[in-house]
């Protein structure tokens, strides 16, 4: 799994001119799922993200996690995170999981996040044309790939 984590002061997802998700302080997580991913990737990634110390403490030092600040989360599926641009100018998405594999893993990741942070996670809609709005706080944007846990 590949995730782009953005610390936000607000974020939202709109589908067909209707807002389906909105949060204030927390994380917007863009999630790409590879065909080789499984439930252990979901579990590891959810714990890692929830415990990232990227929120400021009273001294403006990034010492607090999402858990510590009781922040909110939006998860948006994004197969384009698995794009390969090695050859030519047209990205290849061959590594991205097909929906029959990706949807259960996407749903499992959301459940794992909810379990770790002990609150509901808002989402976009898998496969939909979504408009994602955010105010990136910092800016802080982090890429995590479960295939590269070093």
Say which of 6, 55, 79, 112 is annotated catalytic. 79
Place of tokens 């936000």: 8
As a whole number of angstroms, the distance between CA 11 and CA 23 comes to 5
Question: What are the start-end ranges of the E strands in the chain?
Answer: 2-15, 18-23, 26-32, 55-56, 62-64, 72-77, 122-123, 131-145
| Distance of alpha carbon 148 from alpha carbon 103, whole angstroms | 22
Question: Catalytic pick from 78, 112, 123, 146?
Answer: 78
Catalytic residue among 6, 14, 40, 80: 80
Cβ 121 vs Cβ 110: under 8 Å: yes
The question of whether 79 is a catalytic residue gets the answer yes
58 is catalytic: no
Which residues are catalytic, by number? Answer: 78-80
């Amino acid at each position: 799994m590949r995730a782009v984590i953005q610390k936000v002061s607000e974020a939202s997802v709109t589908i067909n001119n209707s807002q389906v998700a909105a949060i204030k302080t927390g994380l917007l997580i863009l999630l790409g799922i590879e065909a080789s991913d499984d439930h252990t990737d979901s579990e590891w990634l959810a714990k890692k993200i929830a415990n990232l110390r990227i929120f400021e403490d009273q001294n403006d030092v990034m010492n607090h996690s999402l858990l510590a600040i009781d922040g909110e989360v939006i998860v948006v599926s994004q197969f384009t995170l698995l794009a390969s641009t090695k050859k030519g100018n047209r990205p290849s998405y061959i590594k991205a999981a097909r929906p029959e594999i990706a949807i259960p893993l996407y749903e499992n990741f959301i459940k794992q996040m909810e379990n770790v942070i002990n609150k509901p996670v808002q989402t976009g809609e898998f496969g939909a044309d979504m408009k994602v709005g955010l105010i990136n706080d910092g800016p802080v944007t982090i890429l995590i790939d479960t295939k590269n846990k070093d």
